Amino acid sequence: MPSHFRDTEQQGVPDVITGGPEPVQTITASTDIARSEGSAVDAPASGSLYAPLESKGKVVPRTGTPTISLRGVTLIYPAQPNKPALDDVSLDIYPGDFVFVVGHSGSGKSTFLRLLTREIKATKGDVIVAGQNLTKMRNWKVPYLRRQIGTVYQDFKLLPDKTVYGNVAFALECIGKPRSVIEAQVPEVLRLVGLAEKMDNFPDQLSGGEQQRVSVARAMVNRPPLLVCDEPTGNLDPAISLGIMKLLDRINQTGTTVVMATHDREMVDSMRRRVVALEAGHVVRDQERGGYGFYDAL
Amino acid sequence: MSCATKRGEATVSMMPSNLGYSIREAGQHIRRNWSTCLGAIVTIFLSLFVIGVFILGSSLVSNLVGSVEDRVTIQAFLSDGADRAAVDAYQSKVLGWSNVESVTYKSKEEALQEYRETMSNRNAEDAVAALDGQNPVPASLVIKLDDPKQVETTANQIVADQEFAAIADTPENAASSVQYGKETVDRLFSVTNYIRIAAAVLIVLLVFVAFVFINNTIRLAITARRREIGIMRLVGASNSFIRGPFVAEGAIEALVGSVLAIVSLQVGWNFLKPQLSNSLQFLSFELKPQVVIGCYVSLVLLGVVIGLFGSAIAMRRYLKV
Ligand SMILES: Nc1ncnc2c1ncn2[C@@H]1O[C@H](COP(=O)(O)OP(=O)(O)OP(=O)(O)O)[C@@H](O)[C@H]1O
Ligand SMILES: [Mg+2]
């Protein structure tokens, strides 16, 4: 197995994620992508999935326009009019960033992520993603926004009656990609996540970690510049979680901005990336090379 | 095998429409849930069939009524020796009545000529020839009415009129000099009215039922594909793409239903027409091809409207952005 993963990294990673000759629809400024891409190439194609993380503690320079920008965002669910799920949140996330969003259950992590994909609209304030103000965005434009954002969820959201290949291909079929593109990109991205050999398996023939890798593959197959993950390792045991984490890290190495909500203290502590901590809808900490922090005492 | 070349080929044929996908998905759902879909198809078929029967039937009846209404005139036969001045005077008197549209004088010669024409296919020539140049057909006043329903009242009025008795063909019994097609008229009016009302009610009901059925099957289809729809949203499928399979399913069911209705109408008509023509030889049972084609086209259109509307409403409730 390790040799297989090494193989994937050398061939697949830079090609799939940054896109070859076909221009990537960019959320980030293209120069930023190019810069991050350089760093990905520099990073040695290191061993297996379980090798030490090269990018530990990496800080993304705060230059250019932010990929994500929240300005005084308040979100009140109609069901809870007196308790805002997010209260006056302002935050910038730059291209190539890797951001952990941490906080207690009910602190507003999922709400924050749902704002980014415009599953919900801010009650007040502006959410700007890829230069577009989602608060003012027309409904019909939302699908085109989502094509630029990959999403990964705790419950995988795979279709049980489609194979691994079918599940990933479905994401491209849905947005009207021709068959030739699908046939080229799906095997590539499955190689990237290390599932090339299980292409014809159905989801219930896979382990939880493998299923989650399928959903990461589906999120990445259209080469989105932004990846949003809501507790992607919430259902997985620690060793498998680390595998997923490294996959996401590797994807981030190639320039993809990753925003990830998590409860996994060990993972946050070991990665030493940017940490945004929420509590009752407020940002209580925003720290480069942060740890899970605060909650150590609990 | 380099990835670059593969992608190069791929960019050549971009953006296919999702029509094929939609039809495939719809077909799959229909195959898996054929009993519900069959229900929708049958209700569409039934309502369109009844509508078709109504359209064709009323076109047929209005042809018939048109020819019968022409015949709803009163003929007042005049004696051969009637004074022409008296006839003229009586003609203008009747014309003065409020419900009378026109009164024409038909001479003996005209009447005979008409008799020849209408009877020609029943060997009238022989009968006429047997008359040896005599003309037994009386002259008459032909009275047309504004409202054909008043025919009986007006006829009685003429019979009771002393002025008419003076010039009537059979002065001793004026009633037998006055003729009109009473029975046919009565029946046609009541029957067509009832048929119209019943058909309208039936059509409204059936369209509603068909609509509910389509709506239901599409709702089922949506529930069956909930997960898929969720994922489609996630990956940025456009709303029209998500709707595609459901629109296609509604349209397919409606189309199948309307084709069935058209085929049944055509078969039924082919079977009925010879029988009708046989038993009622004096009436013409011809439908203009334009009417038939127009009817079929509007059935298909109506079916598709029901199908699309039914699925659109189902989707509106279940596919919010
Ligand atoms: N659809 C909704 N309607 C009403 N209130 C909601 C809704 N979704 C979330 N909330 C409330 O908003 C607050 C934030 O919820 P959110 O799901 O963002 O928390 P979270 O940080 O993701 O929690 P967890 O770690 O358990 O996933 C909670 O108080 C929750 O009860
Ligand atoms: Mg959550």
A143/B21 CB distance under 8 A:
no
Q: How many domains does chain A have?
A: 1
Lowest mean pLDDT among A49-53, A140-144, B8-12: B8-12
User: Judging by DSSP bridges, how do beta strands A282-287 and A274-279 pair with one another?
Assistant: antiparallel
Distances (CA, A) of B171 to B87, B109, B167: 14, 22, 7
Taking phi over 0 as left and psi of -120 to 50 as alpha, with beta for the rest, A278 belongs to beta
Question: Quick one: closest CA in B to A221, which residue?
Answer: B235
Interface residue B81 vs chain A (CB under 8 A): no
Residue A192 within any structural domain of the chain: yes
Q: What pLDDT score does B165 carry?
A: 83
> For residue A186, what pLDDT is reported?
95
Contact across the interface for B14 and A146, Cβ inside 8 Å: no
Of B256, B232, B235, give the one whose Cα is nearest residue B244.
Answer: B232
A132 part of a folded domain: no
Give the pTM: 0.66
A214 pLDDT band (50/70/90 cuts)?
Answer: very high
Residue B188 pLDDT grade (very low, low, confident, very high; cuts 50, 70, 90)? low
Closest Cα to atom 30 of ligand 1: A106
Please check the confidence at residue A130 and state whether its pLDDT lies above 50.
yes
> Which of B221, B224, B225, B227 shows the shortest CA–CA distance to B247?
B221
Nearest CB among B3, B10, B232 relative to A180 is that of B10
Q: Show which of residues 204-223 on chain A sit within 8 Å of chain B, judged by CB atoms.
A: 218, 222
Under the banding of pLDDT at 50, 70 and 90, the label for residue B296 is very high
Q: A63 in a domain, yes or no?
A: no
| B38 shares contact with chain A (CB less than 8 Å) | no
Full domain range(s) for residue A179: 158-223
Q: Which residues pair with A150 in a beta bridge?
A: A227
pLDDT of residue B179: 79
**DSSP, res A206:** S
Kindly give the distance from the C-alpha atom of residue A17 to the centroid of ligand 2, in angstroms, as a whole number. 27
Average pLDDT, chain A: 80
Contacts of A7 (CB under 8 A, 6+ apart): none
Say whether residue B269 is in contact with chain A using an 8 A CB cutoff: no
Please state, for a pLDDT cut of 70, what percent of chain B lies above it: 80
Q: A114 - beta bridge partners?
A: none
- DSSP one-letter string for B240-299: HHHHHHHHHHHHHHHHHHHHHHHHHHHHHHHHHHHHHHHHSTTS-----HHHHHHHHHHH
Q: Measure A252 CA to ligand 1 centroid, in angstroms.
A: 27
Question: What residue type is A230 in one-letter code?
Answer: D
Are A255 and A18 in contact by the 8 Å Cβ rule? The answer is yes
Q: What is the pLDDT of residue A201?
A: 95
Q: Are A210 and A133 in contact (CB under 8 A)?
A: no
Percent of chain B residues past pLDDT 90, beyond the cut: 8
Tell me if A126 is assigned to some domain: no
CB contacts of B224 in chain A (<8 Å) are: none
**pLDDT tens per residue across span B120-175:** 555 656 666 666 667 778 888 888 887 767 778 888 888 888 888 888 888 788 77
Residue A19 has pLDDT above 50, yes or no: no
Q: What residue type is A106 in one-letter code? A: G
Do residues A60 and A94 touch, judged by C-beta distance below 8 A? yes
- Identify the structural domains of chain B with CATH numbers, from first to last: 3-67+187-318 (no CATH), 73-179 (3.30.70.3040)
B3 interaction partners in chain A (CB closer than 8 Å): 15, 20, 184, 188
Q: B210-236: per-residue pLDDT in tens? A: 888 888 888 888 888 888 888 988 888
Query: Angle of helix B151-160 relative to helix B182-224, nearest 10 degrees?
Result: 170
In a domain, A163, yes or no: yes
Judged by CB atoms closer than 8 Å, whether chains meet at B21 and A142 is answered as: no
> Dihedral (C-alpha) A54, A56, A60, A66: value to the nearest 10 degrees?
110
Q: Which two tokens stand for residue A161?
A: 């009656």
Nearest residue (CA) to ligand 1, atom 11: A85
Bridge partners of residue A124, in order along the sequence:
A74
Q: Assign A91 to helix, strand or coil.
A: strand
pLDDT at residue number B195: 74
Q: Is residue A279 part of a domain?
A: no
